[in-house]
Structure formats: structure tokens, C-alpha cells
Amino acid sequence: MTTRRTKPAGAYVGKEDAFQRTAIARLRQIGKEQGIDSRAIMHIPNGGLRNKKVAANLKRQGTVAGYPDIMVFEPENIKATAKRNAFGSRLSGLAIELKVWPNKPTDEQLAIHELLSLAGWRVVVCYSIDQVEKEALRYFDAR
């Protein structure tokens, strides 16, 4: 039996690259308001169509498929850790996978999400700018 997925409220409508640009700009804005260096919030350029030669070259250079679209290299705000009642388990970073409905994470992406989670990262899949904003505010404890 197949479980029917429900479209998330406010799911982004349009191309994923436009979603990416909007999401990274909003994350950096929220981060800046919290004193986070914008260079700690970055896009992982793994997606997109490439010819076989370019793809092979990137693989030789160490590119690994499946990493989330946005990674925040900033430890979780200590207030956010306290709100989770998780002293001693402060998160190392925030990883956000952006998806335009009805797309969902691939098996490769899910494997990387698990790897990051085991390494102490918060990993989320967001289908809307509202979800991205909510996760950033939660992680940076910007309430």
C-alpha cells in the first residue's frame, strides 16, 4: 500500500533555483540579525545538469552527491539547546534540503542526511520559505 503524501502548506511554486536564491537570502538576513557571519551560510552546488565530462571531473575532485542545498556552519545557539532540553548535545550545524512539491529527497540524499544527523547536525527538508524561516529562527533562537 502506498502512503499518499500531502502537499505542505505554502509549498513553493516555481523553479528550485529561484527557491534556492530566496531561501539563502532569507537565511543570511536572519543570521545577520543574530550576529552570524554570512560566510557561514552557504549553498552546496551539487545540483544541476552537467555533461558527463564535467560530472566525472567534479567526482574526481571530491564532490559527493546527496548533500543538502544549504548548510549553516555555526553551532546551535545555546538558548535553542536549552529549549530542546538537550544539554550536552548542542547541534553542530544546520542542513536544509530544499524541495519543490511534489519532489522528495532521493535515497542518496537520505543517506547523507543520516550521516549528518549522526555527526550532530540538524537536517530538515523544506518545501516553503516559511519552513526555511521557521527552521532558521528555531536554530538561531531568534524569537
On the question of pLDDT at 19 being above 70, the answer is: yes
pTM of the model: 0.88
Read off the pLDDT of each residue in 15-30 and give the average, rounded to a whole number: 95
pLDDT the model gives residue 118: 95
pLDDT for 28-59, tens place per residue? 999 999 999 999 999 988 877 778 888 888 88
On the question of pLDDT at 12 being above 90, the answer is: yes
Angle at 35 between CA 33 and CA 40, to 5 degrees: 105
> Nearest to residue 68, comparing CAs of 41, 48, 94, 95?
95
The answer to whether the beta carbons of residues 126 and 23 sit under 8 Å apart is yes
Whether residue 102 has a cis bond before it, omega within 30° of 0: yes
| CA distance linking residue 79 with residue 97, whole number of Å | 24
